[in-house]
Amino acid sequence: MSSIFTKIIAGEIPCYKVAEDDNFFAFLDINPNAKGHTLVVPKKEVNKLFDLEEDTYNGLMHFARRVAIALEKAVPCKRVGVSVVGLEVPHVHVHLIPLNSMNDIDFKHKVSLKPTEFEEIATAISSYLN
Ligand code: 5GP
């Protein structure tokens, strides 16, 4: 069975897309810890980060770095935090989270955003990608 992220990548489930290339995809987390919380995933469905082939792992980190640099320009914050958990969705994903305090990296700390805010953030991050 396909993961929910595979369905998002395929366009079967909607998302606020931030970036995409042949192998990787970035979109906003639907239940964000902080405004701008972004998920970066390999299109190939693999459960655990360190089970990725080395080329895919390196490519994912390279792609996540590009997104994080754009994210920090789009969403004012002290820095972008990185976390890999995967206890909810068994499809590798890197959490990129704009941090202003330790609360923002706490997955019990959530913020509520309107659809228009999600759209604006995704568009802003995309505009800073290079
Ligand atoms: P983890 O697997 O790292 O524990 O957490 C999975 C993350 O995916 C959570 O932060 C959750 O909010 C996010 N998530 C789960 N389902 C969806 C979805 O359908 N769309 C989006 N955009 N994010 C999701």
Backbone angles phi, psi at 90, to 5 degrees: -80, 55
Q: Which residues are catalytic?
A: 93
Tell me what pLDDT residue 130 has. Answer: 83
* Other CB atoms within 10 A of residue 130 CB: 5
pLDDT mean over 10-38: 98
Tell me what pLDDT residue 1 has. Answer: 82
pTM for the model: 0.98
pLDDT mean over 23-44: 98
Tell me what pLDDT residue 97 has. Answer: 98
Q: Per-residue confidence at 106, pLDDT binned at 50, 70, 90? A: very high
| Whether residue 101 has its Cβ less than 6 Å from ligand 1 | no
Task: Give the residue, by CA position, lying nearest to ligand 1 atom 19.
Answer: 4
